[in-house]
């Protein structure tokens, strides 16, 4: 069980193989620094592309200038208060269209019809390098949609309540695990691991789907057959579903059209801002094929996963999280018919009690801990028991 916990540490986003601490020698630390510098250079290149899309759709020169002054940090971690200026907590996702593309165009994104239900298969694969990792896991899940909760005026917003503003309305969705297994044909799987994975049956993930298609207020509940050590597996399921749903623009899009979506939320216990560029690659019979490239940034330096810190307070020194993928979604559908998403994380952690001045002037390589992981999700809709759409999608 300890090996499983370490492997699934960041849920669907990352993992810490043995929590490799940089204590070997200064050469190893220098190599890590060079690698991190390369990551930062790539990050700047990707971010300039995202910024170009924002600038092309800006309403005024003043808006464009303000965006250039702010934006994602090269370190991968926002300074105190900076993330709140980019996208305050609870605010609806930001969607900026760079180009609408060629005709015909389709309107993408919707909330599922209340009372609808569908079945999907979710696969998760983790690669930690150095012949470490986890055999692919496969989950059979049933999704049901119900009416959203109503906010109480003049009262504090309860935990799990839908976002207000343009993301109000929509539907509340519950995804239940009907089947969980290790999907590794031809490989010998330890009987105990297979048994523990099967006990995930009955676990649930709940989330709110906004009219734009975005998922917010994601939470999970493990089956009664599992103890608290499996919270990490619950995060995996929650992350996979939340990151597979995107906010879409109000405009219809055609081939060559693209937009940037900025969202905020907890990913495996880490508060992050997600910048994702989505492009329409193909349209056929009202179904759009989309490509996705993204960058993900921690809203602060805190690293609050007790399973990893083992009582030692840590914080981010540098962080690099990027993603890519593809989705197939029909016009106006609230849920992709299929999606494949990949994430790569690289980070350096340092003691939380290390003075900022010391970290900046004379960082101690022996006090740095490295993270490196890759993960891929694959989600497909197997069948629709009750239609998801409130009204048919339109091709324009």
pLDDT higher than threshold 60 for residue 56: no
Express the helix, strand and coil content of the chain in percent, nearest 5 each: 25, 40, 40
- Prediction pTM value: 0.75
Res 97: pLDDT: 94
- Tell me which range, 121-135, 223-237, 358-372, is most confidently predicted by mean pLDDT: 223-237
CA dist 272 and 324 (Å) reads 17
Rounded Cα distance, 215 and 160, in Å: 12
Query: What residue spans of the chain are helical by DSSP H?
Result: 2-7, 26-56, 61-69, 82-86, 191-198, 231-244, 306-309, 356-361
Once rounded to an integer, what is the mean pLDDT over residues 189-218? 90
Do residues 213 and 260 make contact, with C-beta atoms less than 8 angstroms apart?
no
- Residue 256 contacts residue 291 (beta carbons within 8 Å): no
pLDDT over 70 (residue 207): yes
User: 17-21, 182-186, 245-249, 367-371 — which one is most confidently predicted on average?
Assistant: 245-249
Res. 137: pLDDT tops 70: yes
Round to whole Å and give the CA distance between 377 and 296: 17
Beta strands of 52-194 (E only): which ranges?
Answer: 94-99, 117-129, 132-146, 171-182
Q: Centre a 10 Å sphere on the Cβ of residue 236 and count the other Cβ atoms it contains.
A: 29
How many helices (H) does the chain have, and how many strands (E)?
A: 8, 14
Mean pLDDT of 122-136: 68
At residue 143, does pLDDT exceed 90?
yes
Model confidence band, residue 169 (pLDDT cutoffs 50, 70, 90): confident
| Dihedral (Cα; 33, 5, 227, 197), 10-degree rounding | 130
Percent of the chain with pLDDT over 70: 67
Q: How high does pLDDT run on average in the chain?
A: 74
Buried/exposed code over 59-72 (b: 16+ C-beta within 10 A; e: otherwise): eeeeebeeeeeebb
Torsion 235-159-84-274 (CA) sign: positive
Q: Is the pLDDT at 291 greater than 90, yes or no?
A: yes
> What are the pLDDT digits (tens) for 18-27?
334 433 333 3
Can you say whether residue 211 is alpha, beta or left, with left for phi > 0 and alpha for psi between -120 and 50 degrees?
Answer: alpha
Q: Please report which confidence band the pLDDT of residue 46 belongs to, taking 50, 70 and 90 as the band edges.
A: very low
pLDDT tier, 130 (very low <50, low <70, confident <90, very high otherwise): low
Burial 170-206 (b: 16+ CB within 10 A, else e): bbbbbbbbeebbbbeeeeeeeeeeeebbebbbebbbb
Residues in the chain: 396
Asked if 51 and 40 touch (Cβ cutoff 8 Å), the reply is no
């Amino acid at each position: 069980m300890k090996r499983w916990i370490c492997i699934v540490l960041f849920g669907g986003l990352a993992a810490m193989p043995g929590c490799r601490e940089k204590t070997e020698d200064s050469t190893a630390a220098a190599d890590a620094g060079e690698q991190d510098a390369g990551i930062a250079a790539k990050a700047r290149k990707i971010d300039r592309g995202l910024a170009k899309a924002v600038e092309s759709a800006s309403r005024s020169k003043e808006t464009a200038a303000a965006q250039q002054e702010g934006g994602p940090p090269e370190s991968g971690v926002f300074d105190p208060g900076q993330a709140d200026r980019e996208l305050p907590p609870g605010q609806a996702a930001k969607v900026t269209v760079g180009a609408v593309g060629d005709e015909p165009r389709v309107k993408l994104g919707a909330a599922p019809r209340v009372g609808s239900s569908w079945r999907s298969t979710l696969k998760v694969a983790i690669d930690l390098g150095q012949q470490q990792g986890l055999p692919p896991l496969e989950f059979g899940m049933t999704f049901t949609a119900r009416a959203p909760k109503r906010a109480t005026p003049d009262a504090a917003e309860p935990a799990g309540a839908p976002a207000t503003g343009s993301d109000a309305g929509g539907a509340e969705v519950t995804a239940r695990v009907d089947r969980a297994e290790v999907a590794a044909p031809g490989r010998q799987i330890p009987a105990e691991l297979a048994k523990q994975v099967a006990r995930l049956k009955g676990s649930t993930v709940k989330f709110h789907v906004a009219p734009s298609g975005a998922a917010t207020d994601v939470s999970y509940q493990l089956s009664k057959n599992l103890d608290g050590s499996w919270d990490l597996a619950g995060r995996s399921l929650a992350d996979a579903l939340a990151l597979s749903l995107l906010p879409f623009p109000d405009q219809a899009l055609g081939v060559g059209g693209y937009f940037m979506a900025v969202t905020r939320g907890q990913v495996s216990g880490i508060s992050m801002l997600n910048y994702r560029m989505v492009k329409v690659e193909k349209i056929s019979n009202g179904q759009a094929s989309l490509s996705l490239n993204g960058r993900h940034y921690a809203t602060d330096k805190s690293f609050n996963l007790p399973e990893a810190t083992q009582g030692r307070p840590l914080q981010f020194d540098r962080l690099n999280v990027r993603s890519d993928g593809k989705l197939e979604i029909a016009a106006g559908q609230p849920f992709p018919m299929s999606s494949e998403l990949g994430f790569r994380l690289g980070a350096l952690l340092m003691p939380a009690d290390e003075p900022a001045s010391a970290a900046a002037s004379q960082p101690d390589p022996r006090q740095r801990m490295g993270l490196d992981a890759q993960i891929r999700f694959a989600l497909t809709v197997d069948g629709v028991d009750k239609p998801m759409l409130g009204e048919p999608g339109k091709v324009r």
